[in-house]
Copies of this chain bind each other. A is one copy, B any other.
Amino acid sequence: MTTVEIICFGNELLIGKTINTNANWLGKRLAMLGAELLRITSIGDVLEDMAGVVQEALQRKPDVIITTGGLGPTFDDIALAAIAQALNRELELNEQAVEFIKERLAKLRKERGLDFELTEERLGMAMVPKDASVLKNRAGSAPGVVVKENDTLIFSVPGVPSEMKAIFDHEITKYFNLDPDVQFYERSIKVNHIPESELANAISEIREKFPTIYIKTHPHSSKASAEGMIEVEIHITSLCSEEASVKLKEAQEDIVKIIKTMKGTSDKKPKITLQIND
């Protein structure tokens, strides 16, 4: 499986100003693509720290690193400077990036009557690490960047969610080069009135029966007691779609069978809800 690390730049993540929905969205996308996300790191807008985190990640040799944030035109948008420092490369003006930015300004002029100059700040978004390529941003001004360092591909996308998503879906998914048959299937079972520890114990034999299936129990209530809802999440990523889908269905049925044999709490029968996402 393609291994991935995500690095999110931005003080706003550390002071609790912004919830990291980008990492969550990317995690879902990567799971759907059959890639394995190993780690998410959030770090503040300090050049040395950002460059350091990129270097540390490179040392672990993931196939892909995705950075979010720090690509805009302002004072503290220093993602590309940090990546350049981590790679020990210079920043250079990328002609394609300049073209993208000019196209964007022309589009804003034509469609919304906004008249912006190609200022030094905006040109700053076209300064990329040596030998990097740029990725078109259909939803904003800052181009995405892709650069290869040894066997790792580093993608740098904006922090603005709509721009991050547009660049990822339109420009990045194709790099994953996955067998089109690779699929991610997910099913879940919600059940209440059963203590999580007893449920987990009961399904451990199912884990042994289906070693390629990921099974996790989550408490779903703020009252972490048996009256709360437990969700049993099961999913599988597989190259052989039909086989995976059949296995997953079987695992779900086995889990439901086991739950039905369990005594509920407070004389209440467990209530089971199935969710099928394939």
B49 touches A224 (CB 8 A): no
- A12-B216, A160-B219, A235-B15 known; A122+B197 contact, CB < 8 A: yes
Q: Mark the stretch among A32-40, A91-99, A143-151 that contacts chain B.
A: A32-40
Residues of B within 8 A of A214 (CB): 11
Residues of B within 8 A of A112 (CB): 225, 227, 266
Contact of A195 among B17, B42, B116, B204 (CB under 8 A): B116
- A74-B217, A121-B197, A265-B114 known; A27+B40 contact, CB < 8 A: no
A161 in contact (CB, < 8 A): yes
Interface centre among A17, A158, A201, A266 (most CB of B within 10 A): A17
A60 to chain B, nearest CB (A): 10
B19 touches A200 (CB 8 A): no
A239 in contact (CB, < 8 A): no
Question: How many monomers of this protein are in the complex?
Answer: 2
Residues of B within 8 A of A108 (CB): 225-226
Interface residues contributed by chain A, number (CB under 8 Å): 76
Contact of A25 among B16, B24, B222, B224 (CB under 8 A): B16
A21 in contact (CB, < 8 A): yes
Residues of B within 8 A of A115 (CB): 265
Convert A3-15 into 0s and 1s, putting 1 for each residue whose CB lies closer than 8 angstroms to a CB of B. 0000000011111
A139 in contact (CB, < 8 A): yes
A218 in contact (CB, < 8 A): yes
Contact of A196 among B31, B39, B74, B139 (CB under 8 A): B74
Roughly how many angstroms separate A222 CA and B119 CA in the complex, as a whole number? 22
B224 touches A160 (CB 8 A): yes
Residues of B within 8 A of A224 (CB): 139-141, 158, 160, 162-163
A161 touches B196 (CB 8 A): no
Interface centre among A14, A216, A217 (most CB of B within 10 A): A14
Residues of B within 8 A of A49 (CB): 38-39
A43 in contact (CB, < 8 A): yes
Using CB atoms and an 8 Å cutoff, list the residues of chain A in contact with chain B. 11-21, 23-31, 37-44, 49, 53, 56, 72-76, 108, 112-116, 119, 121-122, 139-141, 158, 160-163, 195-198, 200-201, 204, 207, 214, 216-219, 222-227, 233, 235, 265-266
Top-7 shortest CB links A-B: A16-B27, A16-B28, A140-B224, A74-B200, A73-B197, A40-B42, A162-B222
